[in-house]
């Protein structure tokens, strides 16, 4: 294969991935043709290549396309090399000192959140550790991604993500979860009242980038015997202020 042809294919693959990365929703074949300006045959060829390499994924029901697991894996690896941990260190320690609560930063990884930074006030057995993952629907941080990421919420509304019951407090009804998401967006933070573990309560605020996309979650949590949800919500102003300051470093308009 000639160098020019190889370059052309790489450019077109990158173009398709750029279009999908910039879309809030999955995209149909026709939408990709329109957005890239490629011919139908060229678009089909590029899609076939990307699907084969795991860089695209296709919904079995709608036949629409989204970024694939390989690209998401690259994204997770890239996140571990970003300055997010360094940028948020000062805010995390200040937030811990102000509130006296455990602090964590987490990111989205497929259908869960992953903790990338934790600062604990008092070590406990069930404290989250860096690299550990937790479900979306029963954690305060996870609810933020459900509320602010259309593609993530589509998995719930389409039944592809199960609202598994972890405790008697876990929200397992999609309609009730949808109402919860409205509340999260309106007030600017999410709560978890013993929904993953009966011993833990949590509250989280979103961190946005310059495109107003959620890129991480900043959380406060405590053992339920130490603080109730009402206690944690009293710290919401300090939490959201810290999240806004971090967001501004990523170009978000706060």
> For residue 3, is pLDDT > 50?
no
> For residue 70, is pLDDT > 90?
no
CB 254 within 8 A of CB 240: no
> For residue 134, is pLDDT > 80?
yes
Please give the Cα distance from 35 to 168 (Å, whole number).
46
Mean pLDDT of 180-207: 96
Mean pLDDT of 61-90: 75
Please give the Cα distance from 150 to 204 (Å, whole number).
19
The secondary structure of the chain in percent helix, strand, coil, rounded to multiples of 5, reads 45, 20, 35
The per-residue pLDDT of the chain, averaged, comes to 88
pTM attached to this predicted model = 0.67
> For residue 182, is pLDDT > 60?
yes
Answer with the residue of higher pLDDT: 196 or 2: 196
b or e along 13-34 (b: 16 or more beta carbons within 10 Å of the residue's beta carbon)?
bebbbebbeebeebbeeebbbe
Mean pLDDT of 30-51: 94
> For residue 93, is pLDDT > 50?
yes
Residue 104, CB-side half-sphere exposure with 13 Å CA sphere: 27
The 10s digit of each residue's pLDDT in 225-239 is 999 999 999 999 999
Mean pLDDT of 29-50: 94
Answer with the residue of higher pLDDT: 139 or 249: 139
In the structure encoding, which two tokens stand for residue 221, read together? Answer: 């949590």
251 band by pLDDT with thresholds 50, 70 and 90: confident
Mean pLDDT of 105-115: 89
The predicted structure's pLDDT at residue 1: 46
- Spans of all domains in the chain: 9-79, 82-250
> For residue 125, is pLDDT > 80?
no
Q: Which fold has domain 82-250?
A: Beta-Lactamase (3.30.450)
Which one is the CATH code of 9-79: 1.10.10.10, 3.30.413.10, 1.10.645.10, 3.30.2290.10?
A: 1.10.10.10
In the structure encoding, which two tokens stand for residue 193, read together? Answer: 């009242």
Please give the Cα distance from 23 to 188 (Å, whole number).
23
How much of the chain, in percent, has pLDDT values that exceed 90? 61
């Amino acid at each position: 294969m000639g160098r020019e042809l190889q370059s052309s294919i790489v450019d077109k693959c990158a173009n398709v991935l750029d279009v999908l990365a910039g879309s809030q929703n999955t995209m149909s074949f026709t939408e990709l043709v329109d957005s890239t300006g490629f011919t139908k045959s060229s678009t089909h060829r590029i899609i076939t290549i990307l699907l084969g390499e795991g860089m695209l994924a296709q919904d079995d029901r709608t036949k629409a396309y989204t970024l694939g697991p390989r690209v998401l894996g690259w994204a997770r690896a890239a996140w571990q090399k970003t300055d997010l941990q360094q940028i948020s260190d000062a805010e995390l320690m200040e937030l811990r000192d102000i509130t006296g609560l455990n602090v964590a930063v987490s990111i989205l990884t497929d259908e869960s959140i992953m903790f990338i930074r934790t600062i604990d006030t008092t070590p406990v057995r069930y404290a989250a550790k860096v690299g550990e993952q937790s479900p979306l629907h029963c954690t305060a941080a996870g609810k933020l991604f459900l509320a602010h990421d259309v593609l993530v919420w589509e998995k719930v509304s389409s039944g592809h993500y199960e609202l598994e019951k972890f405790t008697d407090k876990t929200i397992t009804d999609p309609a009730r979860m949808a109402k919860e998401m409205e509340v999260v967006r309106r007030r600017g933070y999410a709560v978890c009242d013993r929904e993953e573990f009966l011993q833990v309560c949590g509250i989280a605020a979103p961190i946005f980038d310059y495109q107003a996309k959620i890129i991480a979650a900043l959380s406060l949590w405590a053992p339920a015997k130490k603080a109730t949800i009402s206690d944690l919500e009293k710290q919401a102003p300090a939490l959201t202020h810290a999240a806004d300051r971090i967001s501004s470093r990523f170009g978000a308009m706060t």
